[in-house]
Structure 1
Amino acid sequence: MWTTCQECQGRGKKSRRLSKKVRLNYQMAFDQFEKTKGNGTAPVRPKANLYKCLNCNGSGLMNSSSYPEPDKENYPHVAIIGAGIGGAALAAACLHRGIPFTLYERDNNFAARSQGYGLTLQQASKAIEGLGIFSLKDGVVSTRHLVHTTEGKVVGEWGNRKWIQSDAKTTAKRTNVHIARQSLRLELLEQLGGHDVVQWGHQLVDFKNCEDESIELNFQVNGEIKKTKADLVVGADGIRSSVRKLLIGDDITPLRYLGCIVILGICPLSMLEGINNSLLDSATVFQTANGNERIYIMPYTSYSVMWQLSFPMPEDEAKFLSTQGPLALKEEACRRTQWHDPIPQILTATLEAQISGYPVYDRQLLNSQLLEKGNSSTLIGDAAHPMSPFKGQGANQALLDALSLARAISKGCKPLSQWRKTGIRKSVLTEFESEMLERSAAKVKDSADAAQFLHSEIVLHKGDEPRGRCLKKKEQ
């Protein structure tokens, strides 16, 4: 159990005092601006440099013998719509900071549907410490990444083992962490004390602002309408978000097809007995491509791998194929990947029950004005900035969104903040959304670009670096 670090107020960082020289220079510039009676450009108030809080080692959390009591007097009650990665992370971040919340999910239980396959924690591998997770039980660390032609020729290699020239699978330096999406989701829900915290079977119908500045929400539960109230509504309900549809509408920022389909599968290593291949050492990520089809294979757990095959296809054909079921998807995948070992063996050994596929979509980037339509509502994760899976950033950004929003609520709604008078948008949401949109914009763009270049000759560019980096160098 965890509670907020009092030294940094849960931020994980502390501010250094501005130097006397910086303060004097700003004051002089401000005095000069006032003398011009507002003509010209006002000087920007300098911000103090931040440094890691040593008391909590940058997590913003400290061990506690019990959960913090929800501070209903000072903090807003947050209605979180969607108990996927982003929603569960926001709930955990609120719990640790004493922010009252209710977590709603339309599914009837945790295992009602597949929550995707594997994900790779990049920036978020450190951020999850701010959610109370300091060690992932099922996380697998990769230390080597290879790119092949279909004949098996290596055209790119990077990772710790490339640079240190060692046979060791692991190193002291932590790199990308691979984990099953459901495993991470489970660890987040366990932070809450179990699944009972989730209001399962709650399908959001609509919500509206009340005269007392609260929000009334209507859910469909067991065929009946259930009403409830909250001070802040957060849509964490994915790429086809109900909250986004109610807040912004689908017509303004519709789903945008990225021109390709993805087929996913999970293969236990036990199904590959007799195949001795260094690519299957549970610490290697590899991809193979021909300029049209591309397969990416990574550790899913220490005893299985996940594969992701993608290729260009007209939208109608991609939709049709994805509805034909796992057998058709497996046959299509096998037909397209008669390549070097162990790719054909992995796909052949993958059970149909572990295969799915879907057309790849994202949405046009949001702007602050669209989000401002919701005085007391906002979006995080795929509901705010859906992106293609090819940069592995969807879950990372959702986790960062969740932690950032909880910290913003903790800071903007602290005692004596008068947030009820000024409104939660001005106190919290405007600044949070600005940071979120700025941070995620490049990830959305890069992920959309990857949907193009990974299925072109660029993917076979010779170089020991992630695919597409050669394009960045040309732009510079």
Structure 2
Amino acid sequence: MKKEENEAASWTICLECRGRGKKSRRLRKKVRLRYQMALDQFKKTKREGTAPVRPNKHQYLCLNCKGSGLIHSASPPIADKDNYPHVAIIGGGIGGVALAVACLHRGIPFTLYERDGSFHERSQGYGLTLQQARKAIKGLGVCSLKKGVVSTRHIVHTTDGKVIGEWGMRKWMQQEAKTSSKRTNVHIARQSLRLALIEQLGGHTAVQWGHQLVDFKDCKGEGVELNFKVGGEMKAAKAGLVVGADGIRSTVRSLLIGDDITPLRYLGCIVILGICPLAALEGLDSDLLDSATVFQTANGNERIYMMPYALDAVMWQLSFPMPEKEAKALSAQGARALKEEACRRTQWHDPIPQVLAATLDTQVSGYPVYDRKLLETEWLEKGGQVTLIGDAAHPMSPFKGQGANQALLDALALARGISSECGAFSRWKAVGIRDCVLTEFEKEMFARSASKVKDSAEAAQFLHSEIVLYEGDEPRGRCLKSKKA
């Protein structure tokens, strides 16, 4: 992401594109007539066969907002409580905070509820790689990720340090190939991105901390009644729309469709994470620690992935197959046991042993890897005024780096849907928020995220197999797809 200074503290939607970032060009007369003729013929045959598909209008970038859907504003828009539903966002992680920000920019009233007592109650967390969501970040009013790091090289090694794959900007430039900025990724600490989004809301006071959702009840077209446990006491609230953004073990999802239908699905491996400051590696000279290189090393069973966490730190992620019972037991033993297991398994090429040894126990965590079966539309239809985003809707393994990306895209898509389909001239109050917004939003979300869930589950398998040792200058999953094709 280009390092820009944020020119204004507040944003509002671009009226030229109605906050979408794109504008639609009218279909050519020839295309419209061809579709109309096909439709007339379909009707004449008493709707036998397949109905013609209405052609989509050609979309192009809105130059007024440069595709972000936002323009600078002297102050945040005033929440339009008369024309928009009040949105109760359950969960103050990346997806939940992003949705709150997107609602703020569009004048959609909201309340963000988080179970944690404060921002700092959650551990430092892991690093994120922004891929498809790089552009979505600007659609959330964040022009500059000051703590973001752009990687320009990705290397794959065997355990003795042999390079078996390399790609990225630096390699393409050396080969005088196309050097599109679209191919770069931004790495950032999860909490740094979360803080950047919370600052868009005006700070930590915009979040209702310490609110643990207990249950909710649909009031048949008159909103949803929610009950929270706050400081040992019960507290009630009401909303026109409830959005579960509360992670893989989502309370909203459990209350809505139950855990029995889509239980956690173990993917057969455990992940151990660590964050190491570069200052702790003084005297270690390695071009793999240049704050612009991502590398992975594997042997067909264990696999470690190391990436910039910040300009002065790296994050490592070790994963390997393990029976679920053993993975739970190891995770429960805590950071020291996880670090010892990681060090024991990775006496490989430099700088891997040194980085792991220099990582403090307090910066180590680990967990068994799970996802869930893909949601089906009818499971959410009964939810009426309730929906899900992010890991609550489509949890996936971390091996494709898609969890946060999809959550950000979900949040922006939902806010844009509410802004577009609700409002002063909408019939959403008579028809219902589900028919006006949620059904179409969920359809798009499921279609976009399904392949990511599937690919992430497959990666949990092939990254711990001989496939990872394939020699070629491309991501490890690409050769597998080529063989399948």
Correspondence list, 1:432-471, <5 A: 432-471=441-480
Shift of 1:173: 6.6
Shift of 1:116: 2.6
Correspondence list, 1:253-402, <5 A: 253-402=262-411
CA offset digits 1:172-224 (Å, max 9, x no partner)? 77710000000000001000000101000100011111144311001111111
1:75 match: 84
1:273 corresponds to which letter in structure 2?
Answer: E
Alpha-carbon RMSD across the aligned residues, in angstroms, is 1.3
Secondary structure (helix, strand or coil) at the match of 1:387 reads coil
Distance verdict in 2 for CA 1:315–1:418, change over 3 Å: same
CA distance in 2, matches of 1:38, 1:361: 45
Secondary structure (helix, strand or coil) at the match of 2:229 reads strand
More deviation in 412-421 or 268-277? Answer: 412-421
Residue in structure 2 matching 1:165, options 174, 184, 197: 174
Secondary structure (helix, strand or coil) at the match of 1:131 reads coil
Shift of 1:45: 1.9
1:141 match: 150
1:274 corresponds to which letter in structure 2?
Answer: G
Query: Are residue 419 (structure 1) and residue 428 (structure 2) matched?
Result: yes
1:276 corresponds to which letter in structure 2?
Answer: D
CA offset digits 1:376-395 (Å, max 9, x no partner)? 00000000000000000000
1:178 match: 187
CA distance in 2, matches of 1:115, 1:388: 20
Contact 1:141 1:174 in 2 (8 A): no
2:113 match: 104
Following superposition, which runs of at least 4 residues in structure 1 exceed 4 angstroms of deviation?
Answer: 170-174
2:330 corresponds to which letter in structure 1?
Answer: L
CA distance in 2, matches of 1:213, 1:121: 38
2:14 corresponds to which letter in structure 1?
Answer: C
Secondary structure (helix, strand or coil) at the match of 1:10 reads coil
Distance verdict in 2 for CA 1:361–1:211, change over 3 Å: closer
CA offset digits 1:120-162 (Å, max 9, x no partner)? 0000011111111111010000000000010000000000101
Shift of 1:35: 2.8
Distance verdict in 2 for CA 1:173–1:417, change over 3 Å: closer
1:130 match: 139
Q: What is the number of residues matched between the two proteins?
A: 473
Unmatched runs of 5 consecutive residues or more in structure 2: 1-9
TM-score where L is the length of structure 1? 0.98
2:318 corresponds to which letter in structure 1?
Answer: L
Contact 2:168 2:183 in 1 (8 A): no
CA distance in 1, matches of 2:35, 2:351: 63
More deviation in 341-350 or 172-181? Answer: 172-181
Identity %: 76
CA distance in 2, matches of 1:230, 1:279: 50
2:242 match: 233
1:32 match: 41
2:3 match: none
1:410 match: 419
Query: Are residue 11 (structure 1) and residue 24 (structure 2) matched?
Result: no
2:161 match: 152
Contact 1:267 1:350 in 2 (8 A): yes
1:247 corresponds to which letter in structure 2?
Answer: L
1:359 corresponds to which letter in structure 2?
Answer: P
Secondary structure (helix, strand or coil) at the match of 2:242 reads strand
Shift of 1:451: 0.4
Unmatched runs of 5 consecutive residues or more in structure 1: none
Secondary structure (helix, strand or coil) at the match of 1:246 reads helix
1:246 match: 255
1:353 corresponds to which letter in structure 2?
Answer: T
CA distance in 2, matches of 1:36, 1:393: 46
CA distance in 2, matches of 1:196, 1:341: 45
1:379 corresponds to which letter in structure 2?
Answer: L
Secondary structure (helix, strand or coil) at the match of 2:121 reads coil
2:7 match: none
Secondary structure (helix, strand or coil) at the match of 2:419 reads helix
2:80 corresponds to which letter in structure 1?
Answer: D
Contact 1:78 1:233 in 2 (8 A): yes
